Amino acid sequence: MIPPADNLPWQQLVDRKARELIEQVAATYDWVKVHGNSDPAFFNDMAADQFQWLRELYQHELPLAKMLDESDLTVELLGSANRIAHPRLNVVSSTFAKVRKNVALVTKAVAGVRDPQSDQPFHMPEEMELGFSSLVHNGTVRFGFSLPRPGESLLNQDDPLYQAVASAVAAIKSVSFSLSELDDDDEIEENVKQALSDPKLRDSALIAVRELAPSGRSSYSGVTIAGGGVRAADIRPLTKESRLTVRHILAAPVKRTEVITITGTVRETDLDENRFEVRGIENGIITDLRCIYGPKVIDKIAAKWLNHRVEVSGRVERDASGRARLMKVAHLRLVDAPDNAQQQIEFDFPDENTQD
């Protein structure tokens, strides 16, 4: 399907094409009635192409148009026809899992912490789960996801959590579009920064897109993320190279030289991404801070920081309102460790990415 030049909804475009074909069939019938003695076989032969196009329209293009019009987020897997025509169940299930997990993680970054003292990890409420529709069409597996519509959720569109989910979906698409539109890593990074001014949201969205992009083990070669008025046909798919670009950006997510020190409680850790969340921060200027630590800390040590009071120092990125949102930790000290503790209580992380 080619994107409509006049911005019509996809279903209206398909309806218009169907009407044109039906009118052609009717004109062919009238011609055969006058010049072909109303011979049914002659009519069927004359209108064979139009009938075939109508079948294609209703079998493939109309379901696709419905999905594109009704989806706030679409994920399309591209690959060889023999692999994509009948995708393995693990490809479908893993795509569901990746979308669900990463939309929830980015939503958490948008929504912030409703209870800064809570030690419970964020869980997406069931009523805010994305809706789903999918189909296989012309060598592409397409997944369509939509935000809850009125009547489908107890939360209305003015609810902060609903808006957080919508912002999370928009952030994921924004990163994907930047990767599609630009080739230079520095330009991509700057474009993402301009689109997403909140460093914590930006960091989460970059990780989400990296996880959705194909890896070296994927059975598909490309992933296109679109939806909500943006057509997949308009943008280039994410590839394994896109994944490497995001890794490069995530390697140095904090560019500023400003250094601050805060004391709070580690409430969540992500050992895979070398990140943790600090809440219950003294002085109350901010409620939570996303922290990134050096890759040389082994997981079993970092896991022990959970639920401990810590003092962390490092360079920070602030959002448009001036709040510190993301820290590259240079020093961490366990504040609540006993004086005779037999464990390491201070950690230094060499900062190799300081820039002016």
pLDDT tens digits, residue range 5-44? Answer: 456 677 778 888 888 888 888 988 888 888 888 888 888 8
pTM of structure: 0.79
Give the mean pLDDT of 282-308. Answer: 87
pLDDT beyond 90 at 278: yes
% of the chain beyond a pLDDT of 90: 28
> Which residue(s) pair with 329 in the sheet?
314
Mean pLDDT of the chain: 82
Tell me how far apart the alpha carbons of residues 27 and 186 are, in angstroms, rounded to a whole number: 58
Helices (H) and strands (E) in the chain, counts: 11, 10
pLDDT beyond 50 at 315: yes
- 48 vs 351: which has the higher pLDDT: 48
Contact 98, 145 (CB under 8 A): no
Tell me what pLDDT residue 265 has.
Answer: 93
Residue appearing with tokens 């448009």: 320
Band of the pLDDT at 355, cuts 50, 70, 90?
A: very low
Residue appearing with tokens 């519509």: 149
Give the mean pLDDT of 209-217. Answer: 90
The string of pLDDT tens digits covering residues 50-87 is: 888 888 887 777 777 777 778 889 898 887 655 666 67
Tell me what pLDDT residue 351 has.
Answer: 66
The string of pLDDT tens digits covering residues 110-146 is: 876 554 445 555 666 676 778 776 665 566 788 889 8
